[in-house]
Amino acid sequence: MSAPLSHLVTVSGRDGPGIAEHLFQALGAQGVDVRDVEQIRIHGRLLLCVEVVGLVSPERDSVRGDLASRLAADNVEVSITPLASAEDPRERDRFLVTVLAPEVTTSTLAGVTGRIALCGGNIERIVRLAAFPVHSFEFSVAGGDLDQLRRALADEAVRREVDIAVQVDGLHRRAKHLIVLDADSTLLQGEVIDLLAEQCGCGAQVAAITEAAMAGEIDFEQALRQRVQLLAGLDSSALDKVRQSLLLTPGARTLVRTLKRLGYETAVVSGGFSQLIEPLVKELEIDHLAANELEMKDGALTGGLRGPIVDRAGKAEALIRFAAAAGVPRSRTIAVGDGANDLDMLAAAGLGIAFNAKPLVRQAADTSLSVPFLDAILFLLGISRGDVETADQLDQAGWQ
**CA 349 – CA 340 distance, rounded (Å):** 15
Apex CA 373: angle with CA 368 and CA 374, to 5°?
70
For each successive 10 residues of the chain (400 residues), what is the average pLDDT?
A: 75 93 89 89 91 72 80 90 64 87 96 96 93 94 94 95 91 79 96 92 90 80 94 94 96 95 94 95 97 96 95 96 95 94 96 93 93 95 89 68
Which candidate in 184, 311, 338, 342 is catalytic? 184
Which candidate in 15, 74, 182, 342 is catalytic? 182
Apex CA 309: angle with CA 294 and CA 325, to 5°?
105
pTM listed for this prediction: 0.83
Active site residue 182: yes
Strand order in the sheet with 76-83: 33-42, 45-53, 6-14, 76-83
User: What type of residue is 354?
Assistant: A
pLDDT at res. 1: 47
- Side-chain half-sphere exposure of 382, counting CA atoms within 13 A: 18
Closest to 223 (Cα-Cα) out of 242, 244, 209, 234? 209
Closest to 27 (Cα-Cα) out of 72, 83, 70, 57? 70
* Domains of the chain: residue spans and CATH: 6-83 (3.30.70.260), 91-169 (3.30.70.260), 178-191+246-393 (3.40.50.1000)
DSSP class of 397: T
The answer to whether the bond into 279 is cis (omega within 30° of 0) is: no
Active site residue 169: no
